[in-house]
Chain A
């Protein structure tokens, strides 16, 4: 069964460093998303991406965040200068169409120290 894959599963980084979280969405999906879940809190929407551009972003997704689809398979989330409060589980998701179910990856646990 096709699945969304994320790497790495866990990343530890020092405050102020840049991190790139990687995702490979399901191959025939057209819409891509990043969500995050701070420990003990809700899963929150960060950004959606379609046709090589951001279609929607939340208040959380400030100038420190960026997304890219550098090739036909990868979808990345970059945090330019990490803060302690960026520590969270980051989930990538993809959907085939505009209003269809989202398939999520296993998540990347980011720990900023």
Chain B
């Protein structure tokens, strides 16, 4: 069965520090990969996506992610975190072989301390 693991439930970083949120997936197919962000009371906003090509993808708000097929990972990074980045981050995976649905990770709550 397809699954997505975000091993960190909570992460706290200082403002200005770098950030890496981990995502691992288990899929029997070539995946499409996404990161979404959810602020309290808000919907899911797409940060970035990977379908094919360059394995390092750039997204909005200064985020990037790298697809590593050998590690089944798609970790999200940001070189310098801002207080407004505090939110919950979800990794999601889809694949053509499994229709159009997305399978989500459990999410990582990011806290930013000043």
Contact = CB atoms under 8 A, between A and B. Distances in A.
A31 interface: yes
A99 B96 contact: yes
A50 to B, nearest CB: 8
A45 B46 contact: no
Nearest to A104: B44
A59 B105 CA distance: 18
Contact of A56 (B43, B49, B99): B99
A106 interface: yes
B102 A45 contact: yes
A4 B104 CA distance: 19
A52 interface: no
A43 to B, nearest CB: 4
Interface residues of B, number: 23
B105 A42 contact: yes
Interface in B90-104: 90, 92, 94, 96, 99-104
Interface string A43-82: 1110010000001101000000000000000000000000
Interface residues of A, number: 26
11 contacts: A6-B43, A43-B44, A44-B104, A48-B100, A55-B99, A55-B100, A56-B99, A56-B100, A56-B101, A99-B96, A106-B43
A13 interface: no
B106 interface: yes
Contact of B42 (A31, A45, A106): A106
A45 B36 contact: no
A31 B101 CA distance: 10
B46 A103 contact: yes
A43 B96 contact: no
A45 B103 contact: yes
